[in-house]
């Protein structure tokens, strides 16, 4: 029903006009080479250019000053090469004024309808407006988030994340609530389930291997937690994907 509806819209709906009205959100669609195809006005301002046409066909490294531009381009290539999304990643952004601020970035792969091959990506970066958190605090929080994402097979405890962030568990929970609206423990659980959902949705990996990849040695414990969080078992979730694809 959705595909039928969207196919009738002329020109094809991209969300560009909508995101042009959201000044605290950067929006973009890129092709398989990481080149901009669709951008909103906020990104135009952040890049210091006058017109969207000055960004189309160029990469992040070509329009944003280093080291952030180079970092964003490497991030794009990772999504394009692996097909794995980036969800609510805490990172730095440049503003039109030249100042540096923090945002949450999400990038999702775009797949070819018939083959499933990754042919591009779509992404948003939303500014964070938290005046009580200094840049150094953000950096420590970002380090803890990266550490958790890299060690999901043996997920760290809240205390370990607090050590990485150089905070007490109480301070870490307070900061996480500010940024994500979740405690550190809730965010870590969400991260594990989100990663499991992505793997189940994009691969034919066994339930046991998915459980191990997100830190559950006991498949039954993983199944119980997955069902409690999503409302269905990992097997049913995987089967629903197969039905949809058919």
Would you state the pLDDT for residue 51? 95
Which letter, b or e, does each residue of 125-139 get, where b requires 16 or more Cβ atoms within 10 Å of its Cβ?
bbbeeeeeeeeebbe
Instruction: Write down which residue in 127, 150, 185 finishes a domain.
Output: 127
Q: Which secondary-structure segment (H or E) carries 16?
A: helix 16-19
If asked whether residues 206 and 238 sit together in one domain, one would say: yes
Q: What is the pTM of this model?
A: 0.66
Tokens read off for 46: 């952040």
Query: Both ends of the chain: CA-CA distance in Å?
Result: 15
Q: How far apart (Å, rounded) are the C-alpha atoms in residues 211 and 190?
A: 14
Please give the Cα distance from 197 to 193 (Å, whole number): 6
Higher pLDDT, 89 or 19: 19
pLDDT of residue 221 exceeding 90, the answer is: yes
Residue 105 pLDDT greater than 70, yes or no: yes
**Rounded Cα–Cα distance for residues 84 and 222 (Å):** 21
The answer to whether the beta carbons of residues 128 and 109 sit under 8 Å apart is: no
Say how far apart CA 98 and CA 78 lie, in whole Å. Answer: 27
- Say if residues 76 and 60 touch (Cβ distance below 8 Å): yes
If you search the block for the tokens 């760290």, which residue do you land on? 156
Res 168: pLDDT: 95
Question: Higher confidence at residue 159 or residue 194?
Answer: 159
**What is the structure's pLDDT at 123?**
97
In a shared domain, residues 172 and 220:
yes
For residue 184, the enclosing domain spans 135-245
What pLDDT does residue 130 have?
55
Rounded Cα–Cα distance for residues 189 and 143 (Å): 18
Question: What is residue 96's predicted lDDT score, i.e. its pLDDT?
Answer: 66
pLDDT at 107: 96
Phi, psi of 27 (to 5 degrees): -130, 140
Number of domains in the chain: 2
The string of pLDDT tens digits covering residues 24-45 is 999 999 999 999 999 999 999 9
pLDDT band at 100; cut points 50, 70, 90: low
User: In this structure, are 76 and 114 located in the same domain?
Assistant: yes
User: Do 57 and 141 reside in the same domain of the chain?
Assistant: no
Burial letters 66-78, b for 16+ CB under 10 A, else e: eebbeebbebbee
Q: For position 18, which CATH number holds?
A: 3.30.450.20
Same domain (yes/no): 120, 159: no
pLDDT at residue 27, rounded to an integer? 97
119 and 32 share one domain = yes
Q: How far apart are CA 37 and CA 221, in angstroms?
A: 43
Q: Which residue has the higher pLDDT, 134 or 61?
A: 61
Which of 61, 95, 127 is the endpoint of a domain? 127
Of 96, 127, 158, the last residue of a domain is 127
Whether residues 151 and 94 share a domain: the answer is no
Asked if residue 214 has pLDDT above 90, the reply is yes
Residues 70 and 47 in one domain: yes
Share above pLDDT 90 across residues of the chain, in percent, rounded to a whole number = 57
> Is the pLDDT reported for residue 13 higher than 50?
yes
Same domain for 223 and 167, yes or no, is yes
Is the pLDDT confidence value at 132 over 60? no
**One domain, residues 110 and 18:** yes
Asked whether the predicted pLDDT for residue 245 surpasses 60, the reply is no
The model's pLDDT over 143-185, given as tens digits with 9 standing for 90+, comes to: 999 999 999 999 999 999 999 999 999 999 998 988 888 899 9
Mean pLDDT for the chain overall: 88
Residues 94 and 153 in one domain: no
Give me the CATH number covering residue 169. Answer: 1.10.10.60
pLDDT band at 99 (very low <50, low <70, confident <90, very high): low
Residue 165: the pLDDT is: 94
* Whether 168 and 111 share a structural domain: no
Query: Of the candidates 37, 64, 65, which has an alpha carbon nearest to the alpha carbon of residue 53?
Result: 37
């Amino acid at each position: 029903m959705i595909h039928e509806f969207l196919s009738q819209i002329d020109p094809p709906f991209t969300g560009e006009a909508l995101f042009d009205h959201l000044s605290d959100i950067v929006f973009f669609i890129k092709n398989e080479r990481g080149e901009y195809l669709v951008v909103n006005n906020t990104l135009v301002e952040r890049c210091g250019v006058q017109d969207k046409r000055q960004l189309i066909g160029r990469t992040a490294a070509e329009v944003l000053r280093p080291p952030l531009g180079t970092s964003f381009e490497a991030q794009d290539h990772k999504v394009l090469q692996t097909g794995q999304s980036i969800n609510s990643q805490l990172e730095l952004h440049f503003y039109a004024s030249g100042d540096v601020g923090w945002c949450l970035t999400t990038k999702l792969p775009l797949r070819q309808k018939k083959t499933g091959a990754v042919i591009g990506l779509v992404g948003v970066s939303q500014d964070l407006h938290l005046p009580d958190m200094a840049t150094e605090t953000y950096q420590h929080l970002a380090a803890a988030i990266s550490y958790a994402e890299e060690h999901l097979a043996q997920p760290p405890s809240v205390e370990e994340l607090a050590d990485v962030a150089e905070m007490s568990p109480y301070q870490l929970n307070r900061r996480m609530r500010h940024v994500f609206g979740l405690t550190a423990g809730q965010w870590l659980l969400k991260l594990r389930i989100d990663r499991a959902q992505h793997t189940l949705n994009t691969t034919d990996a066994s339930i046991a291997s998915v459980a191990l990849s997100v830190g559950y040695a006991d498949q039954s414990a993983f199944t119980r937690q997955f069902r409690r969080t999503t409302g269905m078992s990992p097997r049913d979730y995987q089967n629903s994907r197969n039905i949809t694809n058919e």
